[in-house]
Structure formats: structure tokens, C-alpha cells
Chains A and B, each alone.
Chain A
Amino acid sequence: MALRRQPLSAPRPGDTRPAAQRLAVPLLLLLGLQGAAAAGGPEDSGWLQDAEPSSRLLSQAARAALHFFNFRAASPSALQMLASVLDGRAWVNQKKEYKFDLVFTTEFYSAEEGEKRLGKCSAQVFFRNEKPRPSVNVTCTQLVKKERRQKEDYQLYKLMKQLKSPLNAVSIPDSHGYIAPSLRPIWDLAFLGSSYVMWQKTTPFLHYYMSQISSVKQWKTNDDAIDFDYTVLLHEFSTQEIIPCRIRLVWHPSKPLKVTYHCQERQTPEEASGAEDGSAVAPTGLSNF
């Protein structure tokens, strides 16, 4: 299989988001810090290397890098997920900036039964001042040949184009973890858009998983792009919160992805924690669709 390296990098993080105020105390980088002299790290002054970075922390950073990679690759049929971290180093400095150097393996997100291929990525992840939206430098081996990826993206694109608008689908997957095959393209495209959001929101202390799509709408556009509007429920670690995010994305197979989003702010005492915001499952009968 021909492998090609795809270098991608993010711009320096902007100043748009304030650091998350959390009760959860930052862990781990407070353990086992060594002096700069012992570190084999970058020349920048004041970096202290974490002697024993926890695998959890390294996995978090790797996931952030992968969210960014998936977003930039903009290919819903070739999404990758983290398999394991092979090697990782972590540094922090007095300015509360965090830096990670990682090598990790990946798997196909939509792996067919028996199709177990591992990709490999190397990444540098940088968090400025505990803020979200780390800057990422990531290079991954190509899990799928470009031609196959383009073909499958185009098939997905055609499927999406044929769907009626609005879709009026609820809860993907359903309560039982089931995604109907006909709805799989929606999930993949939603995951692609969510990757952007999850990258944007990740901090050294907060990371995300996509739990469920709670509503889907799709608009036709004048041009050929898929204009996709949906609400996704993100699971936030370590607060355990479920964050509803309204995401709007515009996608065409051969073009970069355009995403805008708005996530619900942390609940005030007047809002119950995720109780009544449309993530319910329709109770009648066994089928949801």
C-alpha cells in the first residue's frame, strides 16, 4: 500500500475563549517535574519536562491532535480515531503553557468488520495559558489510498444530496447504540464537524467525546455543497457534563470544511443539567426511525 505523509498544522490559538473555570484540579503535570537541565526538550527557556506523563494526559493531547487532523482532512469516509500512544513527552512552563510531543497509532473510525488497519501519527500540541484550541502540528500516514477516499467521500456526498430536507431524524445513535445503515453518512459527517468543535474546546484539563446527535436538519444550497445543520451532545471530561452544540457545516468533497458552531454555556441554577433539552428518545415501540 502506498503511504503518503500529510503534514498539517494549525495557526497559533486565538484569544477568543477564556480559560474554563473548573473545580476539577489540574493533575499530573504537577507530578515529577524535572529541571530544564535534565530535559531533552526545546530550547525555549523555562520548559520543565514531566518525568512521568500519565498515559491519560498523553491520550488527551493525542486526541486533540487527531480532532484537528480529521477536521483538516475534511474526509468523512476516512476519519481516524486514536488506537494507542506509542511515545509521548510533556512539558510545562511558568507561563502555564503546555507542550506535547507524541507518536500514536490510529484506526479507521468506520472500520468494516475485519478491516483492522493501523495508521501512525506524530504530533506536537501546544496549549497557550491553559486555554482551549491548541496549536497542532500533526503528520499521519495515510490509512486509505487517496482514490478510494475520494470515491467514498463522493458516494457519501451523493447519499446526503438525496436525503429529504429537513431530515427530522432524532437521536443518532438511538439509546441502544444503534445507527441505521442509511443514517451512517449523517453520523460520519456530523463527527467530522464535531471534530472541529472538539479541537476548539479542548484544554489541558478538558477533553471531549461525541455522544449523540440529538437533532438534524439539512438545507439545500444554491451551489453543490452539503449544508448541514445539527445539534450534537458532547461529553466533557472531567466535569462529566453533556454539552449541546449547534453546528452548521458546509461540505463539498474536494473543498475545505466550513464550520460554525454555538455550544450551550454551562447551566445556570435555572437549567437542569441536560434534562429537558431534546435529547429524549421517542418511547413508542422499539424502533426510533
Chain B
Amino acid sequence: MKWILFFGALIGSGICDRETFSGHQVFRINVRNGDEISKLNRLVNSDNLKLDLWKSPSAVGHPADVLVPSFSLREVKSFLEDHGLEYLVAVEDLQIHNEMDNIVKCYPHLASTVEIGHSFENRSMYVLKFSTGEGRQRPAIWLNAGIHAREWISPATAIWTAKKIACDYGKDQAITSILKKMDIFLLPVANPDGYVYTHTHNRLWRKTRSINPGTTCIGTDPNRNWDSKFGEVGASDNPCSEIYHGAHPNSEMEVKSVADFIKNHGKFKCFIDLHNYGQLVMYPYGYTTEKAQDADELDMVAKNTAKALASLSGTQFRVGPIATGIYRASGNTVDWAYDNGIKYAFTFELRDTGHYAFTLPADQIIPTAQETWLGLKTIMEYVQDNI
């Protein structure tokens, strides 16, 4: 089973009854001559396939984007292959944005999208906002995902979680109660350029795709670029390194967009960052092994979170501060959040512990998202009761 089909699977799994793009895929088809254009038109116009031409081939060399429903996938692929037409299945950030739009369409009184900025390659940074209140800034929770491009389970879990929040509001007592008091902001792809790059070029890319002057080495580690003990331990000043911290704090637009938004909002109480792999629930600090002031409380919450995570499938998570749980790392999201007044700052390393690592198989997506949800709820419920 492929990841691209996952989005169809998760919608069809009974989480939400609404009509959505269940299993649809966007094909980008290359047309190299007039003959291929007419073949493509024939395909698009065939009644039974129910294809939807999103972008027509304006000229030879300009690809067409076609939305293909799940029941037509096999036939369309056969047709394209039999006629020698080149095609790509559209990368998943496009699909993720589609999913976000669907959630807003289905739940307009709860969900909205906020554009908080752009990436280096000018991709929009969209955040889903879940709010039951009008007007003033309510205390809020930030769920961060996909900051490291190769950690695909993170945006996948985030999108599942978004649907879960939307669908369970009004039905599940815990999330309904949380949303009565607080807003939830969810950023499924904090590093869209990197995420696309892992689909088109290099599955194991980690950083952003920003240009570093004076070298062909691309990108900054967005989880070393935050303004918390920037440039100290556990980060590199070598732009070719996977943990290059960048020229200065918030040099990455992707990081600056989030930092500015959160600072301007002013009422965030909780920040959770999703990564993989390692199966860990961690809290500040990463930049030092000294105990954070609230370490005991955060440790207790983290332990309860790990219990909740294990309750579904028995997946064991270890708990501790970042510096000892994984390694020392300065300029990371969670340290920044904590040192900027967001006490309940946690980072998750989701499945697994190294067997499949970044390339977690598709059949683990939903179980991972389901157990993660229990962990997230544990934290959010605690925050709700303690602010």
C-alpha cells in the first residue's frame, strides 16, 4: 500500500462521513506533441472515468493536471502507459492542502486556514485553526509537524489528527471541553520545500531548501534555527551539515513565520512538535542538561502521555528532557517555546526505533496517528486544567 493512497484510506475509514476526495489522486501528465494532447482529451472526456481537468495543457510542453477518482486509477494508469504518456502523481503537499481545505469546507464553524507566511521557494505556510470562540485571542495550543522533511509520519499524523479534532468535536467529551476553552492551531507541514524535495529528489532530505551563499550545499536545519541559545551545542556552523543552524536565528522564513505568529498571538500555552523516529516524549531543555524549572511537572505529564501512547498498541515511549533523551541540540522549537513563556512544550519522536525509521510503512500510519492522538489528548487535557 502506498502513502499516496493513505489519504483515501483515512477518509474512508469511518472517521468522517462527509463527502471528500476519498482516494482521489492528481496526475500531472506531460504532453509532448499534438497527438498526445488529443489522446489526453480523449481520456479526460470519457464519461465513465469521471476525470476532472484541473489544468489543461495550454501548449506542448506544459503539463496537464487531472483529478482522478479512486475507481478510475487503474484504468487511467493503463491508458497512460499503453499510449506512452509520461505522468507523475502529484506530490503530497498539494494533497495535504486539499485535505486542509476539505476540513474547512466540512466544518466551517470550527475550522479555518490561516496563512502565516511563505517558504524559501515561496510555498504558502498554512495553519489550521480550530476555534469555537469569537473575537479575542483565546489561550491556544500549537501542534507542529513536518519540520524535518524526511519524517513523513509527522505530517501524516497531523492531517489525521486534524480530521479527528474536527470530527470528534461535539461527540467526544474531552476534545469538546478543550475547544470550549482553548483554540488549537495545527501546522501539518512546517517545511514544505523540504517535504516536496523528499518526493521529487531525495527521500532522506532533512533541512529547508534555502541557498547558502558561497557553497553549493543547500538548506538549514529548521530545528536548530530558533532563537534559543542559537549556535551553541548540538548544531553545526557548516552549511553542508544536516544540523546546520543557519546564518542567524530565524534566518529561515519557515521558522520566522511561526515564531512571529506565536509571539504576536501572545496567548499560547502549549507547543507540541512531532518528529520521527525513536519513540520518545521529551520536554526542555535540549541546549543544556540542566533541569528546566518545571521539569518535574513536565516529566509527570510526559510519563502520563507515554502511558496513554502505549495503551492502544503497546508501543513503548521513553520519557525525558531532550538533552538526555536524544542528544543535546540548541536552537530547537521546544526550548524556544518554553523560554518564551509556553510552559507545556513537548516534542514527540514517533515510531519506530530504527527498523523502518523514516520510511515507516503505510500500514503503520493510522495506528501511529491513533496512539499519538491519545498522547496529545493527555497533554491538552492537562493544559486545559492547569491554565
Contacts and interface: CB of A to CB of B under 8 A. Distances in A.
A281 interface: yes
Interface stretch (A87-95, A147-155, A265-273): A265-273
Interface in B291-348: 316, 318, 320, 323-328
Contacts of A286: 2, 4, 77, 89
A178 interface: yes
Interface stretch (B39-47, B52-60, B351-359, B379-387): B351-359
Contact of B219 (A27, A175, A273): A273
A25 B289 CA distance: 11
Interface stretch (B164-172, B181-189, B197-205): B197-205
B210 to A, nearest CB: 12
B324 A273 contact: no
A24 B327 contact: yes
Interface in A149-180: 171, 173-178
Interface in A162-218: 171, 173-178, 209, 211-212
A28 B327 CA distance: 9
Interface residues of A, number: 49
A242 interface: yes
A267 B244 CA distance: 13
Interface residues of B, number: 58
Nearest to A267: B240
Contacts of A285: 77, 81, 87, 89
Contacts of B125: none
A254 interface: no
Interface in B10-36: none
Interface string A233-253: 101011111100000000000
B236 A273 contact: no
B235 interface: yes
Contacts of B104: none
A279 interface: yes
Contact of A212 (B204, B236, B354): B204
Q: Is the interface of B mostly helix, strand, loop or mixed?
A: loop
A243 to B, nearest CB: 11
Contacts of A269: 214-217, 238-240
Contacts of A176: 1-4, 359, 361-362
A217 to B, nearest CB: 21
A245 to B, nearest CB: 14
A37 interface: no
B305 to A, nearest CB: 17
B241 A239 contact: yes
Contacts of B129: none
Interface string A258-289: 00000000011111111110011101111000
A27 B217 contact: no
Interface in A55-94: 55-56, 63, 81-82, 84
Nearest to B148: A240
B88 A239 contact: no
Interface in B64-95: 77, 81, 86-89
A235 B357 contact: yes
B204 A279 contact: yes
B234 A238 contact: yes
B362 A238 contact: no
B242 interface: yes
Given A211-B358, A270-B216, 7 more contacts: A24-B327, A24-B328, A28-B324, A173-B359, A212-B204, A240-B221, A240-B243
14 contacts: A23-B235, A31-B289, A63-B354, A173-B361, A178-B361, A211-B204, A211-B359, A212-B203, A239-B236, A239-B243, A271-B217, A280-B201, A281-B203, A286-B2
